[in-house]
Structure 1
Amino acid sequence: MTELSRQARVGSLYPYELADSPNTNPVVGRMTVVEALDGLLRNTEFSADLTESEVIVVSRKKQEPKGQMADGKMKTTLLAGVASLAFGLANAQDVETISDETREEKEDENKRDEVIVTGTNIRGIAPDSSPTMTFDREDLDITGAATLQDFLQTIPQNFGGGSNATVVGGLPNDFSASYNSGRAGTYGSSANLRGLGSGSTLVLLNSQRIAPASGLGNFVDISLIPASAIQRVEMLTDGAASIYGGDAVAGVVNYILRDDFDGIEATARYGGDTRGDLDEYRASVTLGENWNTGNALVSYEYFNRGNLSAEDRSFSQGAYLPNDLFPSQERHSVLVSGSQELLPNLEFSADFLYGNRKGVRDTSGRTYSFKILPDTTTIHASGALKWDVDSNWSVDLSGAFSTTDGEIPTTGDSSWHTSLDSKLWTMDAKASGALFALWGGDLSLAVGGHYREESFSNERIDTDTVQRAADRNVYGVFGELYAPLISEDNNVPGVNRLEISTSARFEDYSDFGTKLTPKVGVLWAPIEQLRLRGSYGRSFSPPPLGYVGATDYAAFVATTGFINSAIGLTAADPSIADVTAIYISGTAPNLSAETSRTFSAGFNFDHEVGPHIFTLTGTFLDIKYANRLGNTPIPGNRSVFDAPNIAFNDPAAFPPGIVVFSPTLDEINAIMAGVSRVVTYEDDVDAADAQIISSVQLTQNLSLNSVQTIDFDSGYQYESSVGDFAIGLSGSYLLHYKQQASPTSASVNRIDTLYNPTHLRLRGRVGYSNGGFDANLFVNHTNSYKYDNLPDSHTVDSYTTIDLSTSYAFGESSFMSALGDAKIRVSVSNLFDRDPPSTPDAPTFSLFGYDPTNASPLGRFVSVELSTQF
């Protein structure tokens, strides 16, 4: 305690037993006085407080019985305290002077810490009525994940399908996935909560939007954000359109930058799979500086990962070679962030991100072989002013510019070259503060306005054609109220807290009109440890610009005999066994906006009993879409080319006009006049002879998409004299995921079928830490499922893997002290090297022997990381 007082330059008062007590815990590293006190006195009979006068006061957790301490011992205790206080005063020069300065610093620090949290526009308030998850740097580190995408894939609520670098050739049931891979996309990675699509989850960087990526411009590429610059990840897992706008349907993922780092941090990481030649390197340098009125951060990160060839895995031997299951990639990212108090009540902050990723992917078919060379760059810059008008009200002004550009040339048996350009301007103004006092606290209000300009283009350079191009302007005004009716300070039996939060946003889209999106949330805590919550909200989501400006409305003409033979189908009737058919694909003209409503209900429970900490959360989420953008669902999740056979047997299986038999020549001519191109694989096929027109592959507005899920997380922590223990289990149980093409069509449940979400994903965890040693074991489980919903469908086995991550912090007193506060981490994912469950090949989409949406082909992967701070 004496040494802490000396290093911290503060005074201290403590019982004499603590002067040289062997029962206190050693603490090593950079930390605050409070953090050091917590470490020193953990699991002892003492507790401590740091007073406003910068004096440490230590006392017993339980008072001694009256008369137990002898007069002599009491005198000794007081003398020890006075001596220590005098020592602290001598080192600190003048406690009162430093106290005043420190108090001012604390006030300044509190001002900087009074931030807007994810899910609200009211500064300094964190409504608990919506389900949220927060992951700090330690959570990211202990998984052993190299990138933000690797970390996101460990979260059960996130679906691995959609637009991700591991989905290298698209998916049969997800049109948008093909525009992030192949010759049309840059192999980025997205957030995809609930499997509702990459464009349904809003991704923010320090609460600011970033220009989207892919050949459709429908998601933010999180793989370009350096993990070394992130302080925490905040996730709101229900709808938030009333706060952020229409594209926050499934939720929000907000990456918060480090604003409290002081010093230099350097990391170097190497990893590799144990059954191939895939190597991975990551190196980063982060510099941070804090001062009384501001802070600054500069972070550079380099990432390089080799390719994973299909020939390195036995389950993908059906692939033509060369063919990559993972493309190689090399990335450079630079992030600069800072804030400065310009006046006592005025603060300026700014962020800048530069990220560039280059990649190479080999792909081959029966008659071709070529390389795809994606190159994508994101530049993002934002600035904000915060003005504290008085002690209650503040005004925030912010603006951002962001651009994501991509070049996708090919070499070999292809001269394809795609160029992508996505730009985004945003401006926001808002004011928030307290209106008047209620029984449980202040009624708080936020009001503001938003303006946004978006543009997107997708061009074929080799043919000088524009495939997709559109732009839009968005105006919005919003308001939010937070009403704490009952708080812990004035609670009554059965009501420890009662809060209501309401919000609404009115937006005007230049291409899709106006819409009001409201939301209401309620929190009721019958006791301090238990919080019950519920929310209801609506969303209005116009299609991404890549859909709005699409020119890919196309026709594929072939005989049903050719199709049935190629993919193993059986004609429903001899009359349609070998007739000409037109299969319409691409994007329908005259799209409309999606609308949705979201309902959530759940609870949070936490309780401490001595060194034992228990936590339990659960959430029920119900989302219903109208005019959901997508392809017409196929009953039983059968092939899209099986639709004519299904419709012949059951005319009500699809909405009217989706599958047409015996079309007139006028109907055929109308279709052919509207498409941008026609593809035929048979020389003697003429579209004018078509007996069938099928448009199930056409991306259009469907009638309904309904999702219900239950999320849960349980945890237990125990602090003991031999170390700290933690166990937990989190998961997502999908009740149903249904699509309905029209009000009269039968609904199709896509759960537990190939390339779709499964009903259960679990992640268990066991952790132990003691001193500088830390070990964490994770168990990941995905349930078994079927190829489709037919009675005799094949089963895809369940998939369970184990990850292990261990670390050791050497400390400044070790032989590694010359390297600063050095730490080494060794991580192993898929410890027992389990292959993904077997699935059929789909060469058109570069799918060979496994389902990339629910499993990984990587196998056992071992990494070693060395980090240090100065």
Structure 2
Amino acid sequence: MTQRKRQKNAVRRGLIALWLLAGSASALAQGPDAQIYDMPVQGLGAALGEIGTRSGTEIIAPAALVEGLAAPALRGAYAPDAAVRALLAGTGLVAERANGALVVRRVEAAGGSDKEPIVVTGTRIRGAPIASPVIAVSADRMRAAGQAGLADAMRALPQNFGGGQNPGIGNNVPEASGVDIGGGASLNLRGLGSDATLTLLNGHRLSYSSALQSVDISAIPFDAVDRIEIVADGASALYGSDAVAGVANIILRSDFDGLRTRARWGASTDGGNGQQQYGLLAGRTWDSGGLMGAYEFSRISPIVARQRSYAAGVTPGVTLFPFLKHHNGLVSGYQAIGDKVTLAFDALYNKRWKASIFPLNTAGDLDVSRAENRTRSTSFAIAPALKVDLGSWRAGLSTMYGEDRVHFTIANILGDSVLLNGPNCYCNSATSIELAADGPLFSLPGGSARLAVGGGYRQNAFELRRALAPQLDIDETRDSNFAYAELNLPFVAPAMAIPGVHRLNLSGALRYEHYPDIDTVVTPKLGLIYAPLAGVTLKGSWGRSFRAPTFLQLYQSPSATLVPATRLGGTATSGATALLLIGGNTALAPERARTWSASVVLEPAIAGARLEFGWFETRYRNRIVTPIVTTAQALSDPAYADLVSRDPDAGAVNAAIDSVDSFFNSTGGDFDPASVTAIVNNRYVNAGHQTIRGLDALASYETAIAGGTLSLSLNATWLESTQRRTALQPEVALAGRLFNPPHWRARAGAIWSKGPLGLNAHLNYTGGVTDMRQMPADDVEGMTTLDLALRFETPRGGGLLGGLEFVLAAENVLNARPDPIRTTLYYDTPYDSTNYSAVGRFISLGVSKTW
């Protein structure tokens, strides 16, 4: 079935130094905006009123929200925002600035009016607490740090790995670790793969991009984004396939009223990477709804090896980071119809170009011979939704249709001769429809037990079109039907004032998903939140997750190649050959995983401080792998014995050839079945086991200082991961090895703001890895980089000079460089491009105006 028919049918030290430096500064002064509080435990409404009176801040807190809630004791110096945040901690309420006032809302309604579509991450129940750790990054913080978009911000996130589908992945990176086909950017939590992190937009799925079943986050206009929320814990019980490593929800602005234009320019001081970015954001809100539209243009010039000292003498003609250009557009809106019904929609469009070049000669001379890789990508999605209030319950119907097409051409050029391979296409589409409802069931001492239920249908389609080998094209669809339920049980609430049990909450979820012709999967998840006292919260979760095979893993054209047996490690017997089988496998089953997480959240008496420490573990089985790591050892390594059929008869040889789509003879002689001494099967199989475990540490502290506000943050992660490809193969380390995540990553920040002025400093640490490709092994040093940014705003009004914001940023101020690695081929990238960047020092200036 064609795509058109388907449419119709449907460092560590540096981190400590930065932390201590900023902490010492905070101890030097308390600004005039801070007030000294010594407030006892009391009702939340009364406590908020006292803060409003003493600070002169208007605080709007509906009585229905704060009635019956107790506020903890508050002692110390607090700015108004920090004081209110301290009182609201653990209540399910948040406060946001609106027209100068602090407005208290429920968590699920934060970010807009209470009539807007509600988006939550990590739970299907509105307002329910989440037992898994959640990392939230606001777009305002990203912009203030000088980051150009979601892709830049996620590359700096310690829990994310730079491999998978991302621009700048080198030619020497194994496909299992990363690949860049269309220039799109994706999330890859814990290094489990871009296809194991589910990425949502306003709570709904998008079409896959390219070949790896990832979602392109660079297709979303940055100005339209409010924040991204990440649950780095298995979430298949809530969201289905792909959420093994976790789920990321990109939440759009819904309350923007006005017009804003933006421009940003920048370049690397070592050359290349010249960036231009222009954006437009327009929005209008009214009593019953809102509409927002955004457009973004971006152009990035390439970085080539001759511009970098550590690469110029090794692979001078190789493109280290590709040329990229894109147009992004997005429209989002909602409209209440009466008091009960709300219509909403999100629509997205992206068009992108990418180009990269590498030489085809050892001298690296592009004029002699070269390969030019060019892609042109288009994607769109539209997601309408209907929500109906049914008293205390809410029901919703949501749908989505999207496409993502990556057209790619490879031109091999030798002098005046051109061999063109293309245009080819990785063409994806997705359709989904879901009906859901949530609301209270019965009363418990700590509040109402709440239930969410839902079900629906989803279809993904994939086409691989090959210009030179149309007989190997792929044109397949995958349907799935699903149903889920989630229950939240609040047994003890803070207002009950029970000694030793400040809060106790249990949650559970169960999801059924049926894939015809693949499998039926049932995934549970359990969660516990226990707070023995105010300021100390213990969380734990256990669950099962799964990932359906990718289309390429299932349907990539299988082939058999006849090679001399010595090429696969066989003995040097005259005329001996071997048959190597590779390609897809339609018998693959879903990958399955068990996930655990445990965390402790501390909100001590120190004003504005918060600490969170978490443990996570994922045990992956049925991992889809090509089982032979080194084909040159296939016949000599006993670990591959179960993948080798030795001394096959002619019938077995012919049967193996008949089972594949293509046969190639690479021996230089005639094919003789009698000369085949072994059949080696390196097609995709469900054989791998992985264990991933580690620790996360997140800390934040906010205080008034020098008339402004100082915010400190730390996000650090330690990761250990191992893999066993088959039962006979040994377990090997992944984390800390070349082209895999390092053991340690961290990012620490200090942000000071006062009115129109803001100063940002961030220190990033990426640990080293070990290159085990040759013996003796090489230690590859990590990187520590320092980012600085200065923000200044002019008052609104006042004509052309009013409402301006300037952000001057310098990333990698000290121009740290990646440690070189060994290369084998003249087009290899001479550093680990999954972990370290060739950008170097990058200076940018951003200017925006709110009209």
Q: TM-score, normalised by structure 2?
A: 0.83
Retained in 2: the 8 A contact 1:782–1:799? yes
Change (3 A) 1:630 1:703: closer
User: Residues 111 and 361 from structure 1, CA distance in 2 versus in 1: closer, same or farther, beyond 3 angstroms?
Assistant: same
Question: Aligned to 2:462, which of 456, 461, 465?
Answer: 456
CA contact (8 A) 1:374 1:409 kept: yes
**Equivalent of 1:839 in 814, 821, 824:** 821
Distance 1:842 1:206, change over 3 A: farther
Q: Distance in 1 between matches of 2:716 and 2:517?
A: 39
Q: Could you say if the C-alpha distance between residues 53 and 357 of structure 1 is closer, same or farther in structure 2, counting changes exceeding 3 Å? A: closer
Describe the superposition over 1:562-594 as per-residue Cα deviations: whole angstroms up to 9, x where unpaired: 68xxxxxxx7x9768996444433323421111
Change (3 A) 1:415 1:457: same
Equivalent AA in structure 2 for residue 518 of structure 1 = P
- Give 3-state SS (helix, strand or coil) of 2:272's partner: coil
1:605–1:685 Cα change, 3 Å: farther
Query: Is the Cα–Cα contact under 8 Å of residues 116 and 254 in structure 2 kept in the other structure?
Result: no
TM-score normalized by the length of structure 1 = 0.81
Is 1:714 aligned to 2:695, yes or no?
A: no
* SS at structure 1 position matched to 2:237: helix
Match of 2:405 in 1: 405
Q: Which position in structure 1 is the counterpart of 2:831? A: 850
Q: Which residue of 2 aligns with 1:484?
A: 490
Matched ranges for 1:9-158 at <5 A? 46-50=55-59, 111-112=114-115, 115-123=118-126, 125-158=127-160
Residues 298-336 of structure 1: per-residue CA shift (max 9 Å, x gap): 100001111111221232236666431111111001100
Indicate the larger mover: 458-467 or 295-304. 458-467
Task: Provide, for residues 770-826 of structure 1, a one-character-per-residue CA deviation record: whole Å limited to 9, x for no partner.
Answer: 23221222222222221128873111112222222221112238xx75233111111
| Equivalent in the alignment of 1:12 | none
Matched, 1:613 2:608: yes
CA contact (8 A) 2:197 2:244 kept: yes
Once structures 1 and 2 are overlaid, which stretch shifts more, 202-211 or 363-372?
363-372
The Cα of 1:153 is off from its aligned counterpart by 0.5
Change (3 A) 1:476 1:53: closer
Matched AA of 2:831: Y
Q: The residue matched to 1:863 in structure 2 has which SS?
A: strand
Q: Residues of 1 paired with 2:290 and 2:32: CA distance?
A: 38
Maintained 8 Å contact 1:728/1:766? yes
1:201 aligns with 197
- Deviation digits for residues 53-95 of structure 1 (CA, Å, limit 9, x no counterpart): 99xxxxxx999xxxxxxxxxxxxxxxxxxxxxxxxxxxxxxxx
Secondary structure in 2 matching 1:588: coil
What is the CA-CA distance between 1:677 and the residue it aligns to? 3.1
* Higher mean C-alpha displacement, 286-295 vs 502-511: 502-511
Aligned twin of 1:822: 804
Aligned partners of 2:661 and 2:824: how far apart in 1?
26
Query: What is the SS of the residue equivalent to 1:627?
Result: strand
The 1:325/1:577 distance shift into structure 2, 3 A limit, reads farther
- 3-state SS of paired residue (1:160): coil
Q: Kindly indicate whether the alpha-carbon contact (under 8 Å) linking 1:725 and 1:767 is maintained by their aligned counterparts in 2.
A: yes
Shift in Å, 1:210: 0.7
> Paired residue for 2:522, among 512, 516, 521?
516
With over 3 angstroms needed to count, the CA separation of the structure-2 counterparts of 1:463 and 1:23, relative to structure 1, is: closer
SS for the counterpart of 1:373 is strand
- Residues 174-228 of structure 1 show CA distances to partners (whole Å, capped at 9, x for unaligned) of 17x44x43xxxx2322111011111000111111111101135x11111111111
Please give the alpha-carbon distance, in whole angstroms, between the structure 2 residues aligned to 1:147 and 1:62.
38
Give the CA deviation at 1:667: 4.1
Q: What residue number does 1:590 align with?
A: 587
Cα deviations by residue, 1:732-789 (Å, 9 ceiling, x for unpaired): 21123323412x5422222221111111111122222223221222222222221128
AA matched with 2:189: L
> How big is each residue's C-alpha offset from its partner over 1:83-127, in whole Å with a ceiling of 9 and x where there is no partner?
xxxxxxxxxxxxxxxxxxxxxxx999753257231111112x232
8 Å contact kept, 2:111–2:253: no
Q: List aligned pairs for 1:114-263, cutoff 5 A.
A: 115-123=118-126, 125-169=127-171, 171-172=173-174, 174=176, 177-178=178-179, 180-181=180-181, 186-216=182-212, 218-263=213-258
Letter of the aligned partner of 2:539 in structure 1?
R
Q: Summarize deviations over 1:832-860 as a string: whole Å, max 9, x none.
A: 1122111122538x432101111011111
User: Secondary structure of 1:705's partner?
Assistant: strand
Give the aligned partner of residue 744 of structure 2.
Answer: 760
Contact 2:446 2:490 in 1 (8 A): yes
What is residue 539 of structure 2 aligned with on the other side?
A: 533
Q: Secondary structure at the match of 1:140?
A: helix
| 2-structure distance, mates of 1:409, 1:173 | 19
Corresponding residue for 1:316? 311
Secondary structure of the residue that 1:483 maps to in structure 2? strand
Select between 196-205 and 110-119 the one with higher mean Cα deviation: 110-119
1:482: Cα distance to partner? 0.6
Corresponding residue for residue 94 of structure 1 = none
Evaluate the alpha carbon distance shift between residue 518 and residue 416 of structure 1 in structure 2; reply closer, same or farther with a 3 A threshold.
same
- The 1:767–1:52 alpha-carbon spacing in structure 2 relative to 1, beyond 3 Å, is closer
Q: Residue 359 and residue 613 in structure 1: after superposition, are their counterparts in 2 closer, same or farther (change >3 A)?
A: same
Q: Give the alignment of 1:711-790 within 5 angstroms.
A: 711-742=696-727, 744-788=728-772
Counterparts of 1:540 and 1:761, CA distance in 2: 26
- Residue 112 of structure 1 aligns to a residue in which SS? coil
Q: For structure 1, which segment, 359-368 or 340-349, has the greater mean C-alpha deviation from structure 2 after superposition? A: 359-368
Whether the 8 Å contact between 1:706 and 1:739 is mirrored in structure 2 is no
- Is 1:549 the equivalent of 2:555? yes
Partner of 1:300: 295
Equivalent residue runs for 1:497-508 within 5 Å:
497-508=503-514
For residues 500 and 407 of structure 1, do their structure 2 counterparts lie closer, same or farther at Cα, with a shift above 3 Å needed?
same
- Structure 2's unaligned 5+ residue stretches are 1-30, 35-46, 64-72, 76-108, 362-367
Distance in structure 1 (CA, Å) of the matches to 2:800 and 2:667: 72
Paired position in structure 2 for 1:670? 655
**Paired letter, 2:463:** S
User: SS state of the match for residue 603, structure 2?
Assistant: strand
Distance in 1, Cα, partners of 2:802 & 2:680: 66
| Structure 1: distance between partners of 2:598 and 2:773 | 30
The letter for the 2-side match of 1:240 is: A
2:110 and 2:710 map into 1 onto residues whose CA distance is: 36
Map of 1:866 onto structure 2: 847
Distance 1:205 1:394, change over 3 A: same
Corresponding residue SS for 1:212: coil
3-state DSSP of counterpart to 1:607: coil
The Cα shift of 1:45 comes to 5.5
Change (3 A) 1:462 1:665: closer
Q: Deviations over 1:312-364 (max 9, x none)?
A: 12322366664311111110011001111111111111111011101222232
Instruction: Write the deviation string for residues 648-699 of structure 1: whole angstroms up to 9, x where unpaired.
Output: xxx2x24x43245555544443333333334565524857434454445x33
Q: Indicate if the aligned counterparts of 1:116 and 1:122 stay in contact, CA closer than 8 A.
A: no
Residue aligned with 2:693, SS: strand
How many aligned positions are there? 753
Larger Rg: 1
CA contact (8 A) 2:33 2:707 kept: no
- Worse overlay, 356-365 or 248-257: 356-365
Deviation at 1:44, TM superposition (A): 11
What corresponds to 1:568 in structure 2? none
Which amino acid letter does the alignment assign opposite residue 164 of structure 2?
G
Q: 1:667 to 1:260 in 2, by over 3 A?
A: same
| CA shift digits 1:231-267 (9 cap, x unpaired) | 0101111111111112211111111110011111111
Change (3 A) 1:677 1:312: farther
- Partner residue in 2 for 1:805: 789
